[in-house]
Amino acid sequence: MIDLLTVTIVLLGATGLTLPLLQVAKKGEGALAGYILSGVLGVSLLLIGAFTLSPTSVSWAGTFLSPDQLGGVFALVMLGVTLAVSVASFEFIKTSSNPIYYSLLAFTALGMVLLAYSDDLLMLFVAWELMSLPTYALAGFDKKSRSNEAAVKYAIIGAMSSAIILYAISLVYGLTGSTQISVVVEFLAARPSALAGVAILLFIAGFGFKMSIVPFHMWIPDAYEGAPTTVSTLLASATKKAGFVAAIRVVLVAATVYTITKSPVFTLANVFAVLALVTMTVGNISALTQKSMTRLLAYSSIAQAGYILIGFVPFAANPSSAAATLGMTGAILHVINHAILKGAAFLAAALVLLQLKRSDLGAYNGLAKRMPVTALTMAIALLGLAGVPPLNGFWSKLLLFLSVANGPFWWLAVAGILNSAFSLGYYAWIIKRMYADEPESPEKVREPFWFVVIFAVLIGLIIGIGLFPQQAINLASSAVSSIHA
């Protein structure tokens, strides 16, 4: 019997390969390729959802793929974001190269699905490249803007990230003679060494570029601003989550059995704590001074990565503790929430750029009078990112802060609360612009049907999870239980 994961992989791969034929047949105009990909992504979501509820072994993959809840949750999140980006692109990307654009999206989705379920370092690296290479082209898809500059910078940093990951894999293979993650972890637990510690730190650096944690964040603002905003949505809300699932499968599991040195100070829990503090603080402070909405959202995305890292800390310190389970539940829940919230914010920014041809904050003055649905979506997304109840971002931040509040890392909870309060300042400033300031022009602006549909779905998820969080918490908790420790 063919399992549903295999069907999804074949479906996405076949779609990516066949969509360019539409351009060869000169049927690239219009949104036909987009409709096809959106339908395939919708079917893939249903298949992965069913597979997550009732997983089966993937016999052809051997030990390369692990059909567990962790992979299912991340695959659902990343496919959902890609579907929203595909639908939004009906209006945003209207060129004769449409089939190529949607083909690249299909291959990115395929890479993310494989990465979510990867249980072997070689499979993880292949999936990482399959996900990353199409996004370099997507970032430079709009030749009339700063897209080329963004794509070049993103590609160079991405190549550096891949090289670091590959070097770490080579070190681990040299030490253990295996690339299977569970075998590697068992070996490190039995025979720790300085070289193994170097490999783990290299993994943190390599995955850190994609996760946008400080100091590996330097490419984020320029790439997000220069790329088409729908592609920025994909980078912020989907491929970034792929970095986190890779870090959970490799670095976090290794952290539970390995200490970098015998010093009680230089532990991986402390490394994660410092990275979390610096990342959320630098992200929020930098966002405060931005004049472009895309750059502001980019720095805000960096800050959100810092909040997610808080959940890594208690798990790295003691994976069997209640705080560890609570922290990782909060981290995975925040991954889900962040994908929804940041997706809504970036797509709202994309529509403003599409209709008003501006991305500066001045374009948002009086936006509620000109584009009421877009303004409402942006306002709700920003409040959710700040953690204002009863929206979904509140619950994940609450779990994250509670997980470290009663232990040696209590100061991280204080820093998280202060950063959230600080971020509300610049989020509220944007909302004030949209609802209190006068618009530069009183003329109403058209809000396309497909964008309104996406906004309605995302607002429903933000408010629905906020009011009824238990199902989402249970989903995140089930993913934690499948983390090998």
3-state secondary structure 215-234: CCCCCHHHHHHHCCHHHHHH
90 touches 31 (CB < 8 A): yes
Residue 106 CA to residue 40 CA, distance in Å, equals 9
Q: At what angle do helices 240-247 and 69-92 cross, to 10 degrees?
A: 170
The DSSP secondary structure of 219-285, one letter per residue, reads THHHHHHHS-HHHHHHIIIIIHHHHHHHHIIIIIHHHTT--SSS-SSS-HHHHHHHHHHHHHHHHHH
**Tens-place pLDDT, residues 290-304:** 888 888 988 998 999
DSSP label at residue 180? B
For residue 360, the SS3 value is strand
115 touches 95 (CB < 8 A): no
Q: At what angle do helices 293-310 and 322-356 cross, to 10 degrees?
A: 170
413 touches 320 (CB < 8 A): no
Tokens of 358: 């501006």
First to last CA, the chain: 31
- Residues sharing a CB contact under 8 Å with residue 35, sequence separation 6 or more, in sequence order: 90
Residue 397 CA to residue 280 CA, distance in Å, equals 13
Nearest-5° Cα angle at 406, 400 to 409:
70
What type of residue sits at position 291? K
pLDDT for residue 146: 61
Question: 454 pairs with which residues across the strands?
Answer: none
For residue 203, the SS3 value is helix
DSSP label at residue 120? B
Tokens of 349: 């920014």
- Residues sharing a CB contact under 8 Å with residue 343, sequence separation 6 or more, in sequence order: 81, 84, 85, 233, 236, 237, 458
Residue 401 CA to residue 411 CA, distance in Å, equals 10
For residue 440, the SS3 value is coil
pLDDT for residue 446: 86
Nearest-5° Cα angle at 475, 471 to 479:
165
Residue 165 CA to residue 249 CA, distance in Å, equals 14
pLDDT for residue 30: 57
**Tens-place pLDDT, residues 68-104:** 888 888 899 999 999 999 988 887 776 656 888 889 9
- What pTM does this model have? 0.90
pLDDT for residue 97: 63
Domain residue limits, the chain: 270-485
Tokens of 394: 């509140």
Residue 280 CA to residue 211 CA, distance in Å, equals 12
pLDDT for residue 330: 92
Residue 164 CB coordination number (10 Å): 20
What type of residue sits at position 381? A
For the chain, what's the residue count? Answer: 485
Residue written as token pair 């952290």: 255
DSSP label at residue 65? B
- What stretches in the chain show pLDDT beneath 70? 1-2, 25-30, 59-62, 94-97, 143-147, 254-266, 484-485
